[in-house]
Amino acid sequence: MEAPSIPDFSRGDGLLPAIAQHHETGQVLMLAWMNQAAWEETLATGKAVYFSRSRGKLWRKGEESGHVQTVREIRVDCDADTILLKVDQVGAACHEGFESCFFRKIASNGSAQICETRLKEPSEIYSHP
Amino acid sequence: MEAPSIPDFSRGDGLLPAIAQHHETGQVLMLAWMNQAAWEETLATGKAVYFSRSRGKLWRKGEESGHVQTVREIRVDCDADTILLKVDQVGAACHEGFESCFFRKIASNGSAQICETRLKEPSEIYSHP
C-alpha cells in the first residue's frame, strides 16, 4: 500500500493548521493544529483530534467540555499544508462559550467588537459538578 | 488613542494564519499568513494582503493573477492569533486554477481525490501575453 503523501507533515515543523467548519451552515468555527498522530487519530475515529501547542499533547476536542466535533468531510489544500474539517459541532466550538471562536468583528479603524451571542458561560462548560 | 491589541502579532513569530472565506457562499477559499504590515495594508486598502513565507515579502493577492480579494468583513478569534477574512473573490483563489485551494477530499483510508472543477489552467492565470 502506498503511503498517502498528503497532508505533508514535513512542512511547518510537523504541525499544520486545521480549520474546522460547520458541515451544514458553513460557519468557520475555529483553527487548531494537527501533527501526524492527531491526523491519524482523526481519520481512525471520525472525531476531531488536534495537537495542543500550549499543552504539548494531543487534544481530543470535547474531552473535557463534551463539545465533540464529528468529522463529515476532510479536505487538504493545494500545498498539502492546511487541513479543512467539515464537522458537526456539539455545543460551542469556542472555550469562551461562543459557537465559533471568530465572535469578534474588526472595524476599519482596527477596533474589535463582539458580534455573536454567547451560548454558554465558560464556567458552565468546564465545571463538572 | 489606544492601540488595538488584536490580532496579537507577538504570537506565532509575528506571522498569523489568515483564512479567506467566500463572503456569500461560505466556501473556505484558502489559508495564508499575515504579519503586522500585511494586516495594516489589508485594513487600509480593503483588499487582502498576505505575507508570502516562500518569497519572504508582502503578497498583494491578485497582483499577478488579477484574482483580487475584496474584504467584506474581518474577524479575529478568541486567542487573537487567527484572522478570518470574508471576501469577494475575483476568479480562482487557488494558483492551481480552482475556486478554492481545498479542492481535494480525503477518504477514510487517507487517499486524496479532486472533488472540484478547475476554472482555469494555471498557464492561463499567470501568462501575460
Interface mutation target, options B102, B108, B114, chain A, most CBs of A under 10 Å: B102
User: What pLDDT band is residue B127 in, cutting at 50, 70 and 90?
Assistant: low
Residue A1 lies in a domain: no
Q: Is the pLDDT of residue A2 over 60?
A: no
The pLDDT value recorded for residue A1 is: 44
A40 near A31, Cβ under 8 Å? Answer: no
The pLDDT value recorded for residue B109 is: 87
The domain that contains B61 carries what CATH number? 3.10.20.810
Q: Is the peptide bond before B4 cis (omega within 30 degrees of 0)?
A: no
Residue A66 lies in a domain: yes
Residue B127 lies in a domain: no
Q: How far apart are CA B50 and CA B29, in angstroms?
A: 14
Helix (H, G, I), strand (E, B) or coil at A52: strand
B117: how many CB neighbours lie within 10 A of its CB? Answer: 9
Per the structure block, which three cell numbers stand in for B121? 489552467
Sign of CA dihedral A14, A15, A16, A20: positive
The pLDDT value recorded for residue B72 is: 98
Q: Tell whether A43 is within 8 A of chain B (Cβ).
A: yes
Contacts with A91 (C-beta within 8 Å, 6 or more apart), sequence order: A62, A65, A66, A67, A119, A120, A125
The pLDDT value recorded for residue B108 is: 84
Contact residues on chain B for A93, CB-CB shorter than 8 A = none
The pLDDT value recorded for residue A117 is: 95
Distance to chain B for A59, nearest Cα, Å: 17
Range of the domain at B83: 12-94
Q: Which string of b and e fits A68-88 if b means at least 16 CB within 10 Å? A: bbebeebbbbbbbbbbbbbbe
Contact residues on chain A for B115, CB-CB shorter than 8 A = 75
Q: Tell whether A15 is within 8 A of chain B (Cβ).
A: no
B82 near B15, Cβ under 8 Å? Answer: no
Across chain A, mean pLDDT equals 93
Q: Which amino acid is at B26?
A: G
Residue B122 lies in a domain: no
Q: Tell whether A37 is within 8 A of chain B (Cβ).
A: no
Residue B21 lies in a domain: yes
Residue A53 lies in a domain: yes
Mean pLDDT of B6-33: 95
User: What pLDDT band is residue B55 in, cutting at 50, 70 and 90?
Assistant: very high
Q: Is the pLDDT of residue B25 over 50?
A: yes
**Minimum CA–CA partner of A113 in chain B:** B75
Q: How far apart are CA B55 and CA B34, in angstroms?
A: 13
pLDDT tens digits, residue range B98-124? 999 999 999 988 999 999 999 999 988
Mean pLDDT of B37-59: 97
Residue A107 lies in a domain: no
- Alpha carbons within 13 angstroms on the beta-carbon side of residue A120 total 20
Contacts with A90 (C-beta within 8 Å, 6 or more apart), sequence order: A62, A66, A67, A68, A69, A70
Q: Kindly give the residue spans of alpha helices, DSSP state H, lying in B1-129.
A: 36-45, 122-126
Residue A83 lies in a domain: yes
The pLDDT value recorded for residue B128 is: 55
A86 near A27, Cβ under 8 Å? Answer: no
Taking an 8 Å cut-off on Cβ atoms, the answer to whether B102 and A77 are in contact is: yes
Q: Which amino acid is at A49?
A: V
Split into its structural domains, chain B has a count of 1
Strand ranges (E), B55-123? 57-60, 69-76, 83-89, 104-106, 112-114
Q: Which of A5-9, B1-5, B19-23 has the highest mean pLDDT?
A: B19-23
